[in-house]
Structure 1
């Protein structure tokens, strides 16, 4: 008899702002280009020094590009219930939002401004991208299902800060549901709030600022 899947297990939802599959072709081209440059440099060095030194130089040139490409393609973030799972080059990291000891919303201002959620639970810490916006008004936001599941997970926390961020994300979902413009979306308003301060360092929004965005 075929075993039925356990329906009690929480749904696993991806939290990647841009899925690795989207930029995989660019990473392949980058790696091929790096290999080509390494070969040319190795051939040129072979004319001046011995072959072992030339080959070693070529390897040293291409290795960082290869490691970077592999690490970026491997990096993923999921949410399963209240647990955030992040896969990196070295392994898998888990942070339970329900057990969070710190919840912060950070804005990184710039030509391409980013807004992220930083969760701290004991000794574990995980950053979750929420959106990024350009100066021209374009950008990308975390998909609706990810925002909803993240808001639900934050609502399960005992922290007042987590509840405030959950309300802000619910406000973002409502704005998207009615197809509101960027100026009416809490995530964009949070970025704009920091941009007008004319700062270059990352800014952690206060609880009061988050409350006004919800």
Structure 2
């Protein structure tokens, strides 16, 4: 019975969104309401010169794209169940098993707000999982501890050496956060700093040696 309970806990879905969609829900609602208001205004203004049919079509053309974006953004979620990443999208869901990964990389998007993501490749499919983002003044947001722990465990189940190395980086990140270490002592921030030192603007893929050097 305890074994079944442990197995169930291991496969319990865990959200791995860097910023949960619920955080943006109030802003998204305001954006949708604003789009409706602008669409109605555009329709009323157009009705001065055009028939109501064309005016309504113009209003819809103005409002619908924004409302569609708001709805699609609210539907996006990332979950991890055991070793399986599930990406919820506007239409359907995509699942990728980290145990079957053919490639695993750490990517950094250097900018004033730099992002570091885990890129997983399974055959011809690719899925990115945001791990952290940092500003150039030393602040930022990191994936919650449970998400990092589950990702580290899932990567450790892979046969790829790169996956195991990144799993070790996430474990070291967890330890740094547990002792409330400064950013300079956190491996994910060190990865961002390494990418920034290259003076590039394109996504930087960390090499095996750069991943290994993250302490």
TM category (shorter chain) comes to over 0.9
Q: Distance in 2 between matches of 1:56 and 1:212?
A: 58
Task: Identify the residue that residue 207 of structure 2 maps to in structure 1.
Answer: 206
**Paired residues for 1:148-187 under 5 Å:** 148-187=149-188
**Paired residues for 1:1-214 under 5 Å:** 7=5, 8-9=7-8, 10-214=11-215
TM-score (norm 1): 0.95
- Give SS of 1:54's match: helix
Name the count of aligned residue pairs.
Answer: 209
- Give SS of 1:197's match: coil
Q: Distance in 1 between matches of 2:198 and 2:102?
A: 28
Cα offsets for 1:100-151 (capped at 9, x unmatched): 0000111011111100001111233211010011112111000001001100
- Give SS of 2:106's match: strand
Cα offsets for 1:19-72 (capped at 9, x unmatched): 111110000001111111111111111101111111001101111111111111
Cα offsets for 1:190-213 (capped at 9, x unmatched): 011111211111111111100000
* 5+ long unaligned stretches in structure 2: none
- Give SS of 2:134's match: strand
Deviation at 1:11, TM superposition (A): 1.9
- Give SS of 1:42's match: helix
Task: Identify the residue that residue 3 of structure 1 maps to in structure 2.
Answer: none
Q: Distance in 1 between matches of 2:36 and 2:136?
A: 35
Comparing 7-16 with 155-164, greater Cα deviation is found at: 7-16
* 5+ long unaligned stretches in structure 1: 1-5
Q: Distance in 2 between matches of 1:176 and 1:77?
A: 22
The alignment yields a C-alpha RMSD, in angstroms, of 1.0
TM-score (norm 2): 0.95
